[in-house]
Structure 1
Amino acid sequence: SCGGNLQINIGPTHGNRIMPIFEEQLRQFGHWMKVNGEAIYASKPWKPQNDTVTPNIWYKVSASETTVYAILVRWP
């Protein structure tokens, strides 16, 4: 919600293959992005936030400013 990034440490083996456990993790991340991608890529910060009021929730608004997304840092 604040312009951060995500680093995924997944690389191919010596034979240029991705291990099955990493493949599954990438598929799960892809599914998560299908559900949440709009809140990540097509949004901007909703308004200045004071994280002492809601320390684990950040809000973003869609480009059209018709939808507000709540990004939870930790699940309650």
Structure 2
Amino acid sequence: MREQFDNIIDVTLACPDNVESPFKDMFVGRMQRIVVKVNVLSVDDQVLGDYFGDKQFKRQFQLWLGDLWNKKDKELDKLYSE
């Protein structure tokens, strides 16, 4: 991946004022606010490896990705509770 990309763009979208039906609200013009959070992540050893051929790398990558999603969930929980 490093040969093609230097960074990973991590984007989180939230619609804190339209929790019940954000897509419907967007289509009918009732969207109040959209929050966009963008993080730039380095392409480093955590994301470089043979996902399909190296079980240890695959497990480490899954843990890294799971941690990223947990952080996103915490950010969203904080946004939605404000």
Could you say which TM-score interval applies, normalised by the shorter chain?
0.3 to 0.5
TM-score using structure 1 length: 0.34
**Larger RCO, structure (CA 8 Å, separation 6 or more):** 2
The structure carrying a bigger helix percent of its residues is 2
TM-score using structure 2 length: 0.32
